[in-house]
Amino acid sequence: MEETVFDKIVRGEIPAHIIYEDDATVAFLDMTPVHKGHTLVVPKARCRNILDCPSETVGRVYQTAQKVAQHMKQALGADGVNVHGNNEPAAGQEVFYFHVHVIPRYENAQPFQKPTHEVYADGEMKAFAEKLSMK
């Protein structure tokens, strides 16, 4: 896997505004925030994204994201928090080192834009449920 800017941040080779660190994860400010305080959480052990990371790594990153989200809401007086990940280019991933975005949201700021929605044709929802079923 190609080296990324997040490898360098985790190794301390380039500066970042780190707000939390433990044995498995690091959280630092995103340099182009949706809202100021927008934070990225990464594992210390590199992997590409949620599709290839060990489940334990994913769990640790999301546990840290929850801690950051809870603290962020209180510290910034945010009204809500988005927690999301982009996985592969089709989903908007640009840095190929697993990371989760934690973004403060405010009732009176630019509103959160929900994605547009598709509509299921008759019977199509059942077909998708069957394709996706893991039962």
Cα 39–Cα 50–Cα 6 angle in degrees, nearest 5: 45
35 part of the active site: no
> Distance between CA 16 and CA 28 in Å, rounded?
6
Residue recorded with tokens 């190929």: 96
For residue 48, the SS3 value is coil
CB of 117 to ligand AMP, least distance (A): 22
Binding residues among 67-96 for ligand AMP as defined by CB under 6 A:
86, 92-95
CB of 25 to ligand AMP, least distance (A): 15
60 contacts: CB under 8 Å, gap ≥ 6: 24, 25, 43
Binding residues among 3-62 for ligand AMP as defined by CB under 6 A:
5, 16, 30-32, 40
Instruction: Decide: is 122 part of the binding site for ligand AMP (CB under 6 A).
Output: no
Count of residues touching ligand AMP (by CB under 6 A): 11
Q: Which residues are catalytic?
A: 99
**Interacting residues with ligand AMP (CB under 6 A):** 5, 16, 30-32, 40, 86, 92-95
